[in-house]
Structure 1
């Protein structure tokens, strides 16, 4: 099974409601989807959304990296040489992690097809179902409380609240939601780098004193402020999770060595795909630190890949893989399915994806 061609295309999927964080607002998910073809008629799929404010990758930069730098090095390569192909992908250029992730997951998809192996089994095969939270976008307290109640009515038991714009209102947001959903729903916060260290300590402490029962707080401070992240971790009882601070295995090694956080959020678009993400999971496991499997606004292609890794690894105990469920349509045939707040991984070889409706090839 040798790679013969790589196609790059785009899909656009409206969201059910706007996705609003401290960093951005998205109304329509526009994702690049690559198709990697082989000489025996197989196609591997990969996915990369543009997340300029987090990864620095735009659609144009992802397409250019695949088309002109990384992709040409893969033509003629045998899928059986998976490790060498992954090395080629990740050593072809620095940064550009979203482009690398798209090709990496397509190669893994083909490897699974080559041996008739579902990817979740390739990564360990521990589960066929994983629970995910649902993201509640930033809004006024009453609006977020209403959205949270709607999510609970749909069957979600874990909610991830976007905060980080105004600390005073953030407290009101969380308090309103806790009152609305009651004590049995798990609440996680994602500040998206929105607070200063001392500000985060005061606010999280206030929430603890008020008995709001927050499971974890994700990336309370700026991504580069490892010392500030450690300061928050050391001064609150609530678990602190690194997200934007934890891109590469080297980042995670530094975080673990500093004991700067309690949890690591793994995302394929940050890590550069399933290969590096599995390395991060192994490193965290060796250090006794748990992980969450997260996502950007990937289509079901990327979500299926992320779910496969999570379903295989015991160290990944939490999931934020709701992106495909935030979308108003599903153009992807095959892949994961949602059962209320659970994702069911496919038992078909590779990613189990057979087609994508509305895929439009990009012109050179």
Structure 2
């Protein structure tokens, strides 16, 4: 089975509610979707959401990288030559991780279809389902309480609360949510780089002193501030998770060597796809550092790929794979299914995806 053709397209999917963080506000998911087509006619699907404030990748840069630089190098390569394909992806150009991830996911989808196995089994097969949290966007305390109660009513037992734009107000927000949802719901906070190291320590200690019960704090400081992240990790009792800091394999190696965090958040769009995400998970496992599988605002293609890795690896013990649930529509035929907070992997080969409704080709 050889790669014969690569097609690039777009899907635009409105969100149920605006998605707000300390870095941005988004009203729709604008996903780049690639089809890697084999000489057998089989299609591998991959996606890349443009998330410029985090990855630096825009729609145009993703399309250009795939169409003009990376994609042509893959034409004619054997799908069986997986390591060779991934070497080409990594060395074809610097950065452009989202474009690389889209092609990586599609090739892995083809590889699974080539051998008739679901991707999560090819990646380890440790479990066939998992639970995800649900993200609560950054708003006023009253609106965030209302959104949290709606999430609990919908069957979620873990909430990821966006904070980071005002430390004093963040305390009010989280206190109000905890009082509303009760003591048994897991609360995770994501500051999206919004605090300074000392501000983070002061704020987290206030959460601890009040007994609010925070499971973990995600990326409290700027992505480049590894020493600041380590300072926060050492100064508080609450677990600290690296997200934007844990961009790729090299950054994760540095974080692990420095003992700068308690957990690593793996995202395919940061890592450049599944092949590098596997390396990150294996490095973390070697060091005994647990991982969360995260996502960007993307379609169910990327969510299925990320869930396949989370299902495959024992060290990935938490999931933040709610992006597809936040979308008002689902254009993806096949892939993972959702039952309240449960994500169930498909048994069909590869990603188990057969079509993308509303896909519009770009050239």
Q: TM tier, shorter chain?
A: over 0.9
Classify the secondary structure of the residue corresponding to 1:37.
Answer: strand
State the partner residue of 1:359: 359
State the partner residue of 1:30: 30
State the partner residue of 2:134: 134
TM-score with structure 2 length normalisation?
A: 1.00
Distance 2:315 2:232 in 1: 23
State the partner residue of 1:335: 335
Alignment length, in residue pairs? 363
State the partner residue of 1:308: 308
1:8 aligned onto 2:42: no
Can you list the C-alpha shifts for 1:35-76, whole angstroms capped at 9, x where unaligned? 000100100000000000000000000000000100000000
Moved over 3 A (4+): none
State the partner residue of 2:57: 57
State the partner residue of 2:260: 260
State the partner residue of 1:207: 207
Distance 2:92 2:347 in 1: 33
1:235 aligned onto 2:235: yes
Q: Where does 1:32-181 land on structure 2 (aligned, <5 Å)?
A: 32-181=32-181
Can you list the C-alpha shifts for 1:312-364, whole angstroms capped at 9, x where unaligned? 1000000000000000001100000111001101100000000000000013x
RMSD (Å), alpha carbons: 0.4
Classify the secondary structure of the residue corresponding to 1:80.
Answer: coil
Alpha-carbon offset, residue 90 of structure 1: 1.1
Distance 1:28 1:326 in 2: 10
Distance 2:331 2:45 in 1: 13
TM-score with structure 1 length normalisation?
A: 0.99
Alpha-carbon offset, residue 248 of structure 1: 1.1
Distance 1:268 1:23 in 2: 19
1:289 aligned onto 2:289: yes
Distance 2:242 2:102 in 1: 23
Point out where structure 1 has 5 or more consecutive residues left out of the alignment.
none
Distance 1:249 1:86 in 2: 14
Classify the secondary structure of the residue corresponding to 1:160.
Answer: strand
State the partner residue of 1:190: 190
